[in-house]
Amino acid sequence: MLESFLLTSRETLEASLVVGIVMAYLARTNNPQYKKNVYYGIIAGILLSIASAFIFTVIAGGFSGKGEEIFEGTTMLIGSFLLTTMILWMMRQRHISRHIESKVQKYVSHENGFFSHFGIFSLIFIAILREGVETVIFLNAASFSGGANFLGGTLGILAALITGYLFFMSALKINLRKLFGLSSILLILFAAGLVAHGIHEFEEAGLVSGLITPLFDINPPVRPDGSFSLLHENGIFGSFFKGMFGYNGNPSLLEVMAYLGYLGAILVLYLKIERDNRLGMKR
């Protein structure tokens, strides 16, 4: 449930921030004639996101056996890649409001009225569609690893919408950098789990070798009645950590290498971004 909440809340909050920044700028510069284009962009983005979810479900339902394992593994790796690019992009955007406002200003000040209206529409449409499609991929990747939850996803969307609304109404003082920083840490661990689980699916399909399988086995023994203990990867706590962080009680060497290698690469990129940000602030 928590992983679904994090995924949908993060994606929805990013989309709502873009909408909020554009609407605030239009109100501040007395350009209400463009608001309808924002609404059109929101509606079009949501409808196409729903369509992409339907198409993805149809495609996913067409696989079985080895093909299903390959499809699920590929979806997990794509989901991890998209999560990673999203997190790294947000780390670089210290002035996201200024970045979006500069685009809106360019559209509004353009002499061609059609270009102005279409520019505002496309900015919102692409933002909503991008977050919508990413959410579809993330939630499906989470469901393949046993971590998706409809209630958690719904609560995440509602929480993000309320947070975004209150933030731009100045009713709630939120340090978005800290908020995104905390969620980024959890999502990085989730993405690492997707990488390891994707590799596991490829191993199951026979595409790659696990090198040493299993490398270790710390799963508690299955109970005589066939149930699992709490810390077993299929138990209550173990299944949560499996869905959230990619926990596996009996991983292969390749899975462990993929998990640790991903976290190491993210750490290197994070340190580089922080260094670049500090240098940028000094200029």
For the stretch 154-212, pLDDT in tens is: 787 888 777 777 766 654 556 666 767 777 888 888 889 899 999 999 999 999 999 99
Query: What's the pLDDT tens digit per position in 247-272?
Result: 888 999 999 999 999 999 999 998 88
Mean local confidence (pLDDT), 206-229: 87
Q: Which amino acid is at 236?
A: I
> Using an 8 Å Cβ cutoff, are 182 and 32 in contact?
no
Global pTM value: 0.76
Say what the pLDDT of residue 46 is: 92
| CA–CA separation, 247 and 225 (whole Å) | 24
> Using an 8 Å Cβ cutoff, are 14 and 94 in contact?
no
Structure tokens at 178: 């800290």
Is 24 buried (19+), middle (13-18) or exposed (0-12) by CB count in 10 A? Answer: middle
Query: What's the pLDDT tens digit per position in 32-42?
Result: 889 999 999 99
Alpha-helical (H) ranges within 145-175 are 150-168
Dihedral of alpha carbons 183, 184, 187, 192, sign: negative
Percent of the chain with pLDDT over 70: 88
SS3 220: coil
b/e map of 107-127 (b: 16 or more CB within 10 Å)?
bbeeeeeeebbbbbbebbbeb
Dihedral of alpha carbons 174, 179, 180, 181, sign: positive
Say what the pLDDT of residue 176 is: 61
Instruction: Give 237's contacts (C-beta < 8 A, 6+ positions apart).
Output: 230, 231
Query: What's the pLDDT tens digit per position in 55-111?
Result: 888 887 777 788 888 998 999 999 899 889 888 877 776 566 777 878 888 888 876
Mean local confidence (pLDDT), 103-120: 82
Give the model's confidence band at 235: pLDDT under 50 very low, under 70 low, under 90 confident, else very high.
confident
Dihedral, 239, 244, 250, 255 alpha carbons, nearest 10: 160
Structure tokens at 252: 């292969």
Dihedral of alpha carbons 54, 59, 64, 70, sign: negative
Query: What's the pLDDT tens digit per position in 79-92?
Result: 899 889 888 877 77
